[in-house]
Structure 1
């Protein structure tokens, strides 16, 4: 794969800056060192909140949350952060949440779910579901589920689990999510050595989630393992083309389309996993972030502009 041609100069600058902060061999470090490095990298890219955004720390039946709001929001965005289920937290995606709040006018609830390997599956899912139920009770049933990478996995898992249990999930926006696709095929092979995330790194982080064999037929672990894709909320999937996880979204779209659901997949050319942090330095990432905000806002207004 000729990434020198696929990826533009701005994006290469982002990749190099990430490498300077996080390093190309982070998986060789201890988990505590990985977490410290990841948090430091996120701080390097952090930007100030828009001035109108306010925040407070909350707890959803023991699950730590950060609440972002501006004015009197009528919709609630549940945000689940990325980090391979191993790194990240409320601070790693803090400015992203603040900007989603400012651009949409919606309340954003960022969920500090428990991380592996200290907390095995289904701990992260249980926390995501607990927080979503808590938000519906406190703010009303007008929810949009949003997450990047591992957070996209959790958002989709909550959407599947919520059917018949929770009214008012208006939509989900999944940003370069890992949904449990076949790692021996497609983009996992085509982009096995992609900048920012390799296939080996996907396998490395996956091993921490469970004790023993990986679950089978468990959509709370891997949404693509579900046997039923009907009655899901309107779904927007946004992927980086140069990413081993890309085809998970293609397959998810196909499953939802097959049962007549509302689903739209946007694949961003020349972008790489983790590009949300590049939204202020890379034109392609900036444009994609605008598409993400528009999708969140449209789903909150129950508008489907993708047909």
Structure 2
């Protein structure tokens, strides 16, 4: 039994308790509409506003079947080295442009890069591969619209989408210059590692993960589908330089470690860092937890460095 009283410090426990006051641990037992209402209310409660230098503008990406809402963040004097395509977390059923609004604004301010947040379609209304299709369409749009290098970034479910797009676009003439994955779920082996050690972690449990997976797939067995689980890919060659940041107290931590090692084994460049004592979703606590604040600083640094084509490790 993992002793979280020893692993997690007082600041992080306060964040967990505040989160639970908005988003109780049994929220997966509610209807999807209720879960979304609860999640959105929680995200609003943690929103810290924009840095003074940042503005945001909403627009859409047109596809043959639908429009994908996006929100573009800019600083007064944007850094021209790269643009960041950001995919939000939320288990593929929650979240949107507002849920990760502050994170994207601060990422823009910290890096100086233009950040484009993508409001991909959610399950159960749109099961897999809808979210992946939208993420890929967003990359194709960005590759056509921007001459600057494109960097992929995402947290949790969004980290999954960023990685899946990286795998799908290796042969693209405008392939991503890098990817930064924040506590991503990548379809790893659930019979070992953090999936066992942290199966009952605060903020995210194996029960939660199984629920999200079943909703995303519509209950269809998609074993081996690399657009769903990038770790199922047999080929890890020619992926962009990758930074993976995970939380120690999170069943998904082993996915980040395994993914980084697979890239390195294929001759690629990857850096995996596990944040001690932190939990899934800690980015929302970046203004409340010193460890989360430091981690977000490292994430901004990784984005900045990779966007310039430099080494992040």
Structure 1 residues 57-108: Cα deviation after superposition (integer angstroms, max 9, x where no partner): 1111111100001123421100000000010000000000000000000000
Counterparts of residues 117-266 of structure 1 (less than 5 Å)? 117-266=124-273
Q: CA RMSD in A?
A: 0.9
Separation in 2 of the partners of 1:129 and 1:254? 24
Separation in 2 of the partners of 1:21 and 1:211? 27
Structure 1 residues 103-136: Cα deviation after superposition (integer angstroms, max 9, x where no partner): 0000000000000111011100000011111112
SS of the residue aligned with 2:239? Answer: coil
The reply on whether 1:65 has 2:66 as its aligned counterpart is no
1:25 corresponds in structure 2 to 26
Separation in 1 of the partners of 2:178 and 2:167? 11
SS of the residue aligned with 1:92? Answer: coil
**Count of paired positions:** 306
Partner residue of 1:89 out of 69, 77, 96: 96
Q: Structure 2: 5+ residue runs without aligned partners?
A: none
Q: TM-score, normalised by structure 2?
A: 0.96
Structure 1 residues 22-49: Cα deviation after superposition (integer angstroms, max 9, x where no partner): 1121011100000000000000100110
SS of the residue aligned with 2:60? Answer: strand
Instruction: Give the Å deviation of 1:166.
Output: 4.1
SS of the residue aligned with 1:169? Answer: coil
The reply on whether 1:281 has 2:282 as its aligned counterpart is no
Runs of 4+, deviation exceeding 3 Å: none
**Greater alpha carbon shift after TM alignment, 202-211 vs 285-294:** 202-211
Q: Is the 8 A contact 1:141 1:167 kept in 2?
A: no
CA separation of 1:95 and 1:222: change in aligned 2, threshold 3 A? same
Q: Structure 1: 5+ residue runs without aligned partners?
A: none
Partner residue of 2:106 out of 99, 107, 112: 99
